[in-house]
Amino acid sequence: MAARDATDGAMSDYTMGEAAAFGGGDPRVDDALSDNERLRQVNDALRARMERQGGADSARRPGEAAESPGWIRRYVEVALDAADAALALFTEEGRLLAVNRRLSALVPDVAPRLTPGLRFDEAARLLSGSVALALPDEAARAAWAQARIDGRGLAAAPAATPLGDGRWVEVSERATGQGAFALAFDDVTEAMLSRRSARVAAPVGREALLSAALDHLPLGFGAFDPHGQLTFWNEPFRTLMGLGVGDLREGLAFSQLAHRITRGGAVDPDGPARRVALWVAAHSPRAPLTVEIARRDGVLLMAQCRETGAGGFALSLTDVTAERLAAAEVARVRRTLESRVNERTAALVEVNDRLVQEVAERRAIEAEMRRARDAAEAADLSKTRFLAAASHDLLQPLNAAKLFISALSAGSLPPEAAAIALKVESAFASVETLLNALLDISRLDAGGGEAQVADFPIMRILEPVAEEFRPVAAERGLRLRVAPCSAVVRSDPHYLRRIVQNLVSNALKYTMKGGVVVGCRRRGAMLRLEVWDSGVGIPAAERRRVFEEFHRLDAANPRGERGMGLGLAIVDRASRLLGHAVDIRSAEGAGSVFAVTLPLGDARAAAARALAPEPQAVFDGATGMIALVIEDDPSVRAATAALLGRWGVDVLEAHSGEAALALARQIGLAPDVLLVDYHLMGETGVGVLARVRAAFDAPIPAIVITADRSRAVADAVARAGAQLLTKPVAPAKLRALLHWSAKQIAR
């Protein structure tokens, strides 16, 4: 009861002492103050009243103090009821504080649910669903609520909303101070009806048509007289300025209009709007003014001020929000693109710089590697060329020694001396084999090997190799078998024979029992030549290394024989020169298979070529046969003469071509055969041969002897119509060539 008395007393004080503060006593003041201003004054008065009651509240009993929140809410409700508009008061956080009776009467169907603490968005949706609002459908109601939610705190323009009973209300947000705000529903029915009546009553003429047309333009237009009072405006002018239906009237001063806009918070009074106010206050004549004014709700207006006749002026407003947003978006996109382009450019420049640096480093590394490779290749080539070029000097003493031993063996020796001579000859044969292997390797590495490809039967290679190695196999208790094959192949006979010789020799070296089989298998247009052995096999880790020069598997050699490790290296290089693939299959303890794959040849071409076999006939001696030996090395010349003398040949010796010509002129008789060293001092044997033949005017049979096994030398000898014999000279081959010479003489 005491609380109610206190409330009544407070209401009495409010109604009698403070009503004047809201303009209740003077209608002219009411017209001058907007409802927004009244609401702010109510809020300030409530705050002042509560502060004055503070002392009394603190002196109350504890029980009465507990009732103070409810008392304050009732006080606020009573204060809101004094307002002319239907109001819903919200806290700064957007929570509903209270609604007045006018709002409850306006929306009676939803009023019970408008309880304190309700969120603003919930309250807006609840109000939009009231049947009191004559909105056409659910979409329109949702749009109405969303517009209130989106415009919160932005001083958005009031929205005229029809009611179901034919009235109109204007909904707007109004600040009350200290962050609180109210959602106001002002009755503008009279203003709306008045406008409609004026339009209906107005005669249909040019001015009426012009006014109607201006109302439908997106451009807001307002005209003012020389005293700055409003004389004409269209509907967009009101909405763009964010004013209510009843906020504009004819005769309204521009200063009052500006006050309403800026005090409502829609426009900043200190921004571009101040320039408009200063322009209006300036004396005529005034230059046209164009400014852009930003409303608090984000709408951007372009305001244009221009003088009209008789000292008045016109103010036009255009919503340029979309254009400015589009321009801003274009600028943002351009900046973003420029930023991305700059970033990408910087990244590309950085990547390019790194690539340039990497390329430079790689080129430097490659240049260094090329220099190292070139140096290594140059050193290797120099060594190889040295060996190839020095072959003549290396083989000269060996050749002389073999010839001397052959001459010695041809005579009658005591058994003990004959055995020693045989051992010496065997030792020299081993040296010759090793030296020939070294020379083959050096010639292939130096690029001196040139393949002379031809079509020939494969047995022309296999049969001589079998005959050559059968004694070796028999001596070791092994079997060597060559399977017959009628195939014709296309290859170089010389290099292919060297390949097969080395494969068979290697197989015999590493086989203790069983034997070696050489055979061929056709594979389409190719022939696979295989050498099988039942030897010790090759470990998997060694199967590629066995083709490296000087690599030996001495630990796996059951006989303890030590070679130089060049046989398979020659196979690898020669096969690569010929383009023949070489592969190996092996199992430790079960033997190995080496295979060379080469193309099949043309049988008709092989038959037409009719390769003649090497002369194999035995020379039985030719008493009275004259041989002219032209050799610049005295020891080799003497050894050759001694061997030929043992065979019954009369020998003429010359150390040069000039000496040979002088000797020929002296005896006046052409020799039966010429034995000429290819590398003579200052000239070649082929050249000397031509001169000697020319001197005797006879095609004397000739044998050119050389340590140079290059294709160029062989071709030169063949063009000269002579036979080629390589050093160190094999006596058996020399005997065969002498037999050939005898047959040439007989013809």
pLDDT bin (cut points 50, 70, 90) of residue 72 is low
Q: Which residues contact 550 (CB under 8 A, 6 or more apart)?
A: 564, 565, 566, 569
pLDDT bin (cut points 50, 70, 90) of residue 73 is low
- The tokens for 218 are 């997106």
Element (H, E) at 63: helix 62-66
590-607 pLDDT, tens digit each: 888 889 999 988 878 767
Scan for tokens 């951007």, then name that residue.
300
9-18, 151-160, 338-347, range with the lowest pLDDT: 9-18
pLDDT bin (cut points 50, 70, 90) of residue 528 is very high
How many CB atoms neighbour CB 606 within 10 A? 18
Pairing outcome for strands 723-726 and 702-706: parallel
How many CB atoms neighbour CB 343 within 10 A? 10
| β-bridge mates for residue 585, sequence order | 593
For residue 153, give the nearest of 172, 170, 140, 171 by alpha carbon.
172
DSSP sequence for 404-454? HHHHHHHS---HHHHHHHHHHHHHHHHHHHHHHHHHHHHHHHTT------E
Higher pLDDT: 452 or 437? It is: 452
**Does residue 128 sit in helix, strand or coil?**
helix
Q: Which residues contact 144 (CB under 8 A, 6 or more apart)?
A: 128, 133, 135, 159, 161
Which backbone phi and psi does 654 adopt, to 5 degrees?
A: -145, 140
Higher pLDDT: 268 or 386? It is: 268
Residue pair 537/592 in contact by the 8 Å Cβ criterion? yes
Statement: residue 50 has pLDDT above 60: no
pLDDT reported for residue 8: 35
**Phi-psi map region of 426: left, alpha, beta (phi>0 left; psi -120 to 50 alpha):** alpha
What's the CA gap between 180 and 94, in Å, rounded? 8
pLDDT reported for residue 31: 42
203-232 pLDDT, tens digit each: 555 555 666 666 667 788 888 988 888 888
- What is the percent of the chain with per-residue pLDDT over 90, rounded to a whole number? 5
Averaged pLDDT for residues 441-469:
76
pLDDT reported for residue 27: 38
DSSP sequence for 577-621? HHT-EEEEEEETTTEEEEEEEEEB--HHHHHHH-PPPPP-PPP--
pLDDT bin (cut points 50, 70, 90) of residue 243 is confident
For residue 203, give the nearest of 212, 216, 215, 190 by alpha carbon.
212
Buried b (16+ CB within 10 A) or exposed e, 65-97: eeeeeebbebbbebbbebbebbbbbbeeebebb
pLDDT reported for residue 518: 92
- Amino acid 20 reads A
Terminal-residue alpha carbon distance, the chain: 166
pLDDT bin (cut points 50, 70, 90) of residue 365 is very high
Scan for tokens 């009993």, then name that residue.
61
- The tokens for 5 are 């008395």
**According to the 3-state scheme, what is the secondary structure of 682-746?**
CEEHHHHHHHHHHHHCCCCCEEEEECCCCHHHHHHHHHCCCEEEECCCCHHHHHHHHHHHHHHHH
Residue pair 78/45 in contact by the 8 Å Cβ criterion? no
Statement: residue 45 has pLDDT above 60: no
654-708 pLDDT, tens digit each: 888 888 888 877 777 778 888 899 888 888 888 888 888 888 888 888 899 887 7
- The tokens for 363 are 């080129």
Averaged pLDDT for residues 23-39:
43
How many CB atoms neighbour CB 631 within 10 A? 26
pLDDT reported for residue 597: 92
Average pLDDT in the chain:
76
pLDDT bin (cut points 50, 70, 90) of residue 122 is very high
pLDDT bin (cut points 50, 70, 90) of residue 125 is very high
CA distances from 226 to 238, 256, 286 (A): 21, 16, 13
Q: Angle 567-578/493-509 helices, nearest 10 degrees?
A: 150
pLDDT reported for residue 441: 58
Residue pair 236/317 in contact by the 8 Å Cβ criterion? yes
pLDDT reported for residue 181: 84
472-499 pLDDT, tens digit each: 888 888 888 988 988 888 988 888 888 8
Q: Angle 321-389/415-445 helices, nearest 10 degrees?
A: 160
Nearest 5°: the CA angle 613, 436, 546 is 105
**Could you tell me the pTM of the whole model?**
0.39
Averaged pLDDT for residues 135-149:
90
Scan for tokens 């009573």, then name that residue.
78
**Does residue 22 sit in helix, strand or coil?**
helix
16-25, 318-327, 444-453, 663-672, range with the lowest pLDDT: 16-25
Statement: residue 254 has pLDDT above 70: yes
What's the CA gap between 435 and 438, in Å, rounded? 5
Residue pair 448/713 in contact by the 8 Å Cβ criterion? no
What's the CA gap between 21 and 25, in Å, rounded? 9
CB burial of residue 272 (10 Å; 0-12, 13-18, 19+): middle
pLDDT reported for residue 661: 84
pLDDT reported for residue 582: 87
pLDDT reported for residue 407: 64
Higher pLDDT: 539 or 444? It is: 539
pLDDT bin (cut points 50, 70, 90) of residue 29 is very low
**According to the 3-state scheme, what is the secondary structure of 564-581?**
CCCHHHHHHHHHHHHCCE
pLDDT bin (cut points 50, 70, 90) of residue 733 is confident
285-339 pLDDT, tens digit each: 888 899 988 877 778 888 999 888 777 898 988 888 888 888 888 888 988 888 8
**Does residue 489 sit in helix, strand or coil?**
strand
- The tokens for 595 are 């295979």
Buried b (16+ CB within 10 A) or exposed e, 706-720: bbbbbeebbebbeeb
Residue pair 609/455 in contact by the 8 Å Cβ criterion? yes
What's the CA gap between 500 and 470, in Å, rounded? 14
How many CB atoms neighbour CB 434 within 10 A? 13
| β-bridge mates for residue 202, sequence order | none
Averaged pLDDT for residues 122-129:
91
What's the CA gap between 321 and 327, in Å, rounded? 10
- Amino acid 490 reads R
Residue pair 155/266 in contact by the 8 Å Cβ criterion? yes
Which backbone phi and psi does 241 adopt, to 5 degrees?
A: -85, -5
547-590 pLDDT, tens digit each: 766 656 654 555 555 555 567 777 888 888 888 888 888 877 78
Higher pLDDT: 47 or 25? It is: 47
Statement: residue 1 has pLDDT above 50: no
Statement: residue 262 has pLDDT above 90: no
- The tokens for 660 are 């040979």
For residue 69, give the nearest of 117, 104, 16 by alpha carbon.
117
pLDDT reported for residue 527: 92
pLDDT bin (cut points 50, 70, 90) of residue 172 is confident
Omega cis (within 30) before 203: no
Residue pair 165/145 in contact by the 8 Å Cβ criterion? no
Buried b (16+ CB within 10 A) or exposed e, 500-535: bbbbbbbbbbbbeeebbbbebeeeeeebebbbbbbb
Element (H, E) at 323: helix 321-389
Statement: residue 641 has pLDDT above 70: yes
